Amino acid sequence: MTVPAEREPVSDPVRAPWEASMRLALTEAGRAALSADVPVGALVLDADGRVLATGHNERELTGDPTAHAEVLAIRRAAEGRPGWRLTGCTLVVTLEPCTMCAGAITQSRLDRVVYGARDEKAGAAGSLWDVVRDRRLNHRPEVIAGVLENECAAALTAFFRNR
């Protein structure tokens, strides 16, 4: 009797190319937790995959309710460009964007949003709402969900368990 060989895990061709960037976003999320902010990290990549800007939640740190990781990364990325449009860029974030962040994503004309953990309570990129792909809007970025989803969710779960 022959024993079947163990199979190598099949790499997901859609999500795998974003894993290294998501790991950087997870590192950024760890910075948020240092100031008692929810550990969400984000980065904006240019068309060649270079990091233009990073951000992590800073609501507790700054007292600014709009200081979400995505908004901060988008603001910082736009600062270094000739105009406000982030055409050709990708936002990588550890948690599915909320409605505010989804609005910022569409308004900044990002080409793509890549996120890790789903947010069933406030997600606006496919879970609760799908603002970023609403056909009534003039700009709809590509969405790639679930990149390192377990790792991203684990960071959030650990944070809330310890609160």
- Is 89 known to sit in a ligand binding site? no
- H-run or E-run covering 117: strand 112-117
**Choice among 28, 58, 70, 96 that is catalytic:** 70
Kindly report the backbone phi and psi dihedral angles of residue 90, in degrees, each rounded to the nearest multiple of 5, phi listed first: -125, 135
Report residue 80 as tokens: 């270094």
Is 70 marked active-site?
yes
The token pair at 44 is: 């904006």
- Cα 150 from Cα 163, distance rounded (Å): 20
56-61 CB contacts, 8 Å cutoff, 24+ apart: 56/28, 56/29, 56/31, 56/32, 57/29, 57/32, 58/32, 60/35, 60/36, 61/35, 61/36, 61/37
Q: Is 14 helix (H, G, I), strand (E, B) or coil?
A: coil
Residue 98 marked as a ligand binder: yes
Where do we find the tokens 């061709």?
13
68 annotated binding-site participant: yes
Residue list, annotated binding site: 68, 98, 101
Residue list, annotated binding site for Zn(2+): 68, 98, 101
Active-site amino acid positions: 70
